[in-house]
Amino acid sequence: MPRHAPLILDIAPGDPRPITRQIADAIRRQVAAGELQVGDMLPSVRGLAQQLLINPNTVAKAYQELTVEGWLDARAGLGLFVAQPRQRLSQEEQQRRLDAACNRFVDEVLGLDFTPKQMLGQLADELAVLSKPRKRA
């Protein structure tokens, strides 16, 4: 029987990313960190929209993006589930996205009064969370 995973998402109105992107990014992070595990069932589109007080179409778009990318598995009549890990993007696309993310990061922190060593340390701490094994509740 699939586990109904609690989905706690913070949507920030001041975030420059669209809400659809915030939802998709948060779910990707939770899967990568092991907070959502393979086979976990996600809330329905309507359920998550009510929880976040947003339009169901916004949630549907985020879920669709994650399904196309292979993060989620839609099962007819049953719902959405965290999919088995697989190669989601080509090596070239992975590198392109890494380059773009690094450029955005540099653009964001350029004017801050931190040394490169401090910024890299903070980034390493954030990434370390993803490598820690998580226990199921």
Within-domain flag for 4: no
Tally of structural domains, the chain: 2
Within-domain flag for 13: no
**Structural domain containing residue 102:** 91-131
| CATH code for position 54 | 1.10.10.10
**Burial environment of residue 34 by CB neighbours within 10 A (0 to 12, 13 to 18, 19 or more):** middle
Within-domain flag for 120: yes
Residue 55: name the closest of 14, 31, 23, 29 by CA. Answer: 23
Question: Which pLDDT tens digit goes with each residue over 67-112?
Answer: 988 899 999 889 999 998 876 667 888 889 889 988 888 888 888 8
Question: Which pLDDT tens digit goes with each residue over 23-48?
Answer: 999 999 899 888 899 999 999 999 99
Region 1-8 average pLDDT = 69
Residue 39: name the closest of 82, 69, 85, 86 by CA. Answer: 82
Is 67 in the same domain as 98?
no
pTM for the whole structure = 0.70
Is 99 in the same domain as 77?
no
- Contact assessment for residue 82 and residue 38, using Cβ atoms and an 8 Å cutoff: yes
Is 76 in the same domain as 97?
no
